[in-house]
Amino acid sequence: MHLDITDYTSLQEIQDVFSAFYPYLKIEFYTKPHKKYEATEEASRLDSKLRVNDIKKTHVSGLLEILPMYKVYQVEKEFQERFGLSAQIFLKNNETWQQTTDMDSFTLKELNEMGRNSSDEFIVEDYEEGFEEPEEKPDKLY
C-alpha cells in the first residue's frame, strides 16, 4: 500500500486507503504522540475532516509505503517522524474497535487476520443458527 501524503491530504483520505487494505484495522490521528505500548486519550483525537497542513508544523510531502509485514509501532512511528502525525492503529475485535497498545509488536497482517477471525466466528454462529437439517425421507421403492 502506498499513501501519497501532501498538505492537502485529509485524514479521512488516509483512513480510507488504510482501511481498504486492512479492513479489520483502522487508523486514527491525535494531537499528542504516544510511546510504544501506550494508549492514546480519546479526548485528543483529531477530526478526520482536517487536512495535513492543518496539523503538522513542518510541510513535507511524500510517499509512505506500508507493507503487511510492518509492525504496528513502526507504522505509527513513521507517521510521526515523517509527517508529524500522531497515529494510533485500532483492531476490530468482534464488533468493537480497540487500540492496539499491547499489540504494537504484531504485524499489520497478523492483526488484520486476528480481526477477520473474530468476525468470522459471528458469521459461523449466525449461519449455524439459521441452518436447519432437511428432514430425512425414505427412498421410494417402486
Give the pairing of strands 62-65 and 25-30: unpaired
Q: Give the pLDDT of residue 49.
A: 96
Distance, in Å, from the CA atom of 87 to the CA atom of 76, rounded to the nearest integer, reads 5
Q: Give the pLDDT of residue 87.
A: 94
Which grid coordinates are listed for 17? 486507503
Give the pairing of strands 25-30 and 86-93: antiparallel
Contact 65, 2 (CB under 8 A): yes
**Residues whose CB is less than 8 angstroms from the CB of residue 115 and which lie 6 or more positions away in sequence, other chains included:** 23, 24, 25, 91, 92, 93
Residue 19 to residues 25, 32, 57, 65, 112: CA-CA distances in angstroms?
Answer: 6, 22, 26, 14, 10
For each of the chain's 142 residues, which pLDDT tens digit applies?
A: 999 999 999 999 999 999 999 999 999 999 887 777 767 778 889 999 999 988 876 677 899 999 999 999 999 999 999 888 999 999 998 888 888 878 889 999 999 999 998 876 554 454 555 555 556 666 666 5
> How many other C-beta atoms can be found within 10 angstroms of the C-beta atom of residue 42?
9
**Residues whose CB is less than 8 angstroms from the CB of residue 41 and which lie 6 or more positions away in sequence, other chains included:** 30, 32
Q: Where are the domains of the chain?
A: 2-121
Taking alpha carbons only, the member of 48, 55, 64, 44 closest to residue 10 is 48
Q: Give the pLDDT of residue 132.
A: 59
